[in-house]
Amino acid sequence: MDYMQKVSEMLAEKFDEIPLANVVTFGCAQNENDSEKIRGLLYKLGYSMTDSLEKSDIVIYNTCAIRENAELKIFGNIGKLKALKAANPYMIVAVCGCMVMQPHIVDKIKKSYPFVDIVFGVNALELLPQLIYSCYSENKKQILSPQERTQIVENTPMLRSAKPKASISIMFGCDNFCSYCIVPYVRGRERSRKPENILREFRQLVAEGYKDITLLGQNVNSYGKNLEEKVDFADLLALLCTVPGDYVIHFMSSHPKDINKKVIDTIRDNPKISRQIHLPVQSGNDRILKLMNRRYTIRQYLDIIDYAKQQIPGVTFSSDIIVGFPGETFEEYLDTEELVKKVRFTQLFTYIYSKRNGTKAAEMEDNISHEEKAKWLNRLIKIQQDIVFEHLDSYTGKTVKALVEEKHGDMYTARLENTFLAKFASDTDFSGEFVNLKITGKRGTALTAELIK
């Protein structure tokens, strides 16, 4: 708080006009949730937000380390800031987030990108006012070396993106150590927020009119494990559903090893919870799942899906898949195709395996060329596209509830619970509201619909 005041005064002195800040998110939903906190802090300090890099007085790149191409893209973007910085000497360039939790990356920034003024990792957001202060007052770079910070900071101000969507981080970090994944190394050990703090934030969002609220964690199904009180994810869901109002709750990600019948039953019993479940499977082959350290078999995965389908009418699933894990054969990849055809996901996020230094999988032998893996990925994308088209067709004639997101002229787009988009015409502006739609067909990857008055 001391630094907040000092920085506000310093900025008022330094800038004739309101200084502008640009916070760019490169990672996942949790990364974006952190960006909303960074924007909240900057706003309190006296900055206004801008999308323009040229006009920015501070640019903050909130980075991701999940795959090599994410990191390459970020370095490309940082490189472009050099000229801007030269044109505006007051400009601060800051890099934060998952990527700079790796010592070799911080070294690279120091060496090759000397115009970067501030570096701070995950869980260090609240240090930002202090870092800006020291950067200006000492005229010195503030590069924090990666360091695990385990505290949970409540009540960080947030500048959220536009209604009706919002997210709440219910937990931080990850303890699962899937053998391909960098997240546990950069986000640290798993910690859950107290249910009462989550409930307070949730109530506030509903009161402000947010209608689509996503609970975030790397593995929401292990929520509560480190808390003193006995509370699990299903209890948390049930608790939040007691808040009156018109809203839908989503959550991500679920881990198939930890999702259980209690969670499914809680979804069944609470219509405010989305009927679409994101359940990343990663591979359709048991040997590969074992090498990935996922700790479930395809039989167990299908069993929980079957149970959910029995209990929750109309439930749909989305998933993440990695193709080309070290040692994966074409035959083993074909098991993934088979699984995808069997479950018929409504949405699939597919990735080619990317080697992450420091992970177990990075030490495994990998003989398949990138080119070959790209072929497998394309096959999978094609299969999934056909499945999505069939899902879309199955909606024709149905009546659905959807949340209106955007307006283009007199056409609106609304999102169904399972994330499909429907386009419809309306004279009345229903932006941010739930509407009932009758689906008339599909155009491209979206549905067409008529508003039911």
Question: Which residues sit at the interface with ligand SAH, rule CB under 6 A?
Answer: 66-67, 180-181, 183, 218-219, 253, 255, 280, 282, 320, 322, 351, 353-354, 356
What does the block give as tokens for 209? 């009119």
Residue 35 CB, shortest distance to ligand F3S, in Å, is 10
Using the rule CB under 6 A, is 219 a contact of ligand SF4? yes
Is residue 337 classed as helix, strand or coil in its secondary structure?
Answer: helix
Which of residues 33 and 218 has its CB atom nearest to ligand SF4 in the complex? 218
Using the rule CB under 6 A, is 65 a contact of ligand F3S? yes
- What lies within 8 Å, CB to CB, of 230 at 6+ separation is 224
Which of residues 94 and 98 has its CB atom nearest to ligand SAH in the complex? 98
Query: How many chain residues are in contact with ligand SF4, going by CB under 6 A?
Result: 10
Using the rule CB under 6 A, is 319 a contact of ligand SF4? no
Using the rule CB under 6 A, is 28 a contact of ligand F3S? yes
User: Tokens 């209106």 appear where?
Assistant: 404
Q: Which does 415 bind (CB under 5 to 8 A by kind): ligand F3S, ligand SF4, ligand SAH, none?
A: none
Amino acid at 56: S
User: CA 49 to CA 25: how far, in whole Å?
Assistant: 14
Residue 166 CB, shortest distance to ligand F3S, in Å, is 18
Helix 128-137 with 29-45: angle, nearest 10 deg: 50
Residues 274, 276, 277, 278, CA torsion sign: negative
Are 63 and 32 in contact, with CB atoms under 8 Å apart?
Answer: no
User: Tokens 């929401």 appear where?
Assistant: 220
Residues 68, 70, 76, 82, CA torsion sign: negative
Residue 293 region by backbone torsions, left for phi larger than 0, else alpha for psi between -120 and 50, else beta: left
Q: How many CB atoms lie within 10 A of CB 428?
A: 10
What does the block give as tokens for 332? 């083993």
Q: Which of residues 167-196 bind ligand F3S (CB under 6 A)?
A: 182-183, 186-187
Residue 1 CB, shortest distance to ligand SAH, in Å, is 33
Using the rule CB under 6 A, is 37 a contact of ligand F3S? no
Across-strand partners of 22? 59
Burial 61-88 (b: 16+ CB within 10 A, else e): bbbbbbbeebbeebbebbeebeebbeee
Can you tell me which of 23, 91, 98, 127 binds ligand F3S, judged by CB under 6 A?
98
Q: Which of residues 152-191 bind ligand SF4 (CB under 6 A)?
A: 174, 176-178, 181, 183-184
Which of residues 126 and 190 has its CB atom nearest to ligand SAH in the complex? 190
Residue 198 CB, shortest distance to ligand SF4, in Å, is 20
Q: Which of residues 303-332 bind ligand F3S (CB under 6 A)?
A: none
What does the block give as tokens for 215? 């609970």
Using the rule CB under 6 A, is 252 a contact of ligand SF4? no
Residue 290 CB, shortest distance to ligand SAH, in Å, is 16
Q: Which does 31 bind (CB under 5 to 8 A by kind): ligand SAH, ligand F3S, ligand SF4, none?
A: ligand F3S
Query: How many chain residues are in contact with ligand F3S, going by CB under 6 A?
Result: 12
DSSP per-residue string spanning 172-237? E------TT--HHHHH-S-EE--HHHHHHHHHHHHHHT--EEEEE-TTGGGTTTTSSS---HHHHH
Residue 255 CB, shortest distance to ligand SF4, in Å, is 5
Which of residues 181 and 387 has its CB atom nearest to ligand F3S in the complex? 181
What does the block give as tokens for 100? 């700079």
Using the rule CB under 6 A, is 27 a contact of ligand F3S? yes
Can you tell me which of 218, 221, 316, 319 binds ligand SF4, judged by CB under 6 A?
218
Using the rule CB under 6 A, is 123 a contact of ligand SF4? no
What is the x/- site pattern for ligand F3S, positions 244-283, by CB under 6 A? ----------------------------------------
Residue 65 CB, shortest distance to ligand SF4, in Å, is 11
User: Tokens 């591979």 appear where?
Assistant: 283
- Residue with the CB atom nearest ligand F3S in the bound state: 27
Stretch (H or E) spanning 59? strand 58-63
User: CA 402 to CA 136: how far, in whole Å?
Assistant: 48
Please give the residue ranges that form the binding site for ligand F3S (CB under 6 A): 27-28, 30-31, 64-66, 98, 182-183, 186-187
For binding to ligand SF4 (CB under 6 A), which residues are involved?
174, 176-178, 181, 183-184, 218-219, 255
